[in-house]
Amino acid sequence: MIYLCGSHLRGLQPHYNNGSNYFAKELAAYEGYGSPDEITVCAAPGDLLAHHSLTIHRTEANQTERSRNALIADFILDSVKDRDD
């Protein structure tokens, strides 16, 4: 997983549903590719990665024959109203 450090502090960025699956959203504009603010976190099968919901994150293309599976849990406080997904 590749994270853009500090991106959660910038607020919700314009994005759209790219249609690949229920959770996949794509930023309308992303200029962080190769930025020194991007960090790569390696994960092995069974590892857990957790991040703030506003953290910009991405992965490189899957170069294997195996599918990339994930379990996604999204926790939203009752105090959050009219959230734009």
**Do residues 3 and 57 make contact, with C-beta atoms less than 8 angstroms apart?**
yes
Say how many Å lie between the first and final Cα of the chain, rounded.
Answer: 21
pTM of the model: 0.73
Which segments of 2-85 are extended strands (E)? 2-4, 15-17, 25-27, 38-40, 57-58
**15/32 Cα distance (integer angstroms):** 15
pLDDT, mean of residues 11-39: 79
Q: How many domains does the chain have?
A: 1
Hey, is 68 helix, strand or coil? Answer: coil
pLDDT at site 65: 93
Tokens representing residue 44 in the block: 């092995």
pLDDT at site 72: 80
**59/1 Cα distance (integer angstroms):** 5
| Structural domain for 28, as ranges | 1-85
On the question of pLDDT at 57 being above 70, the answer is: yes
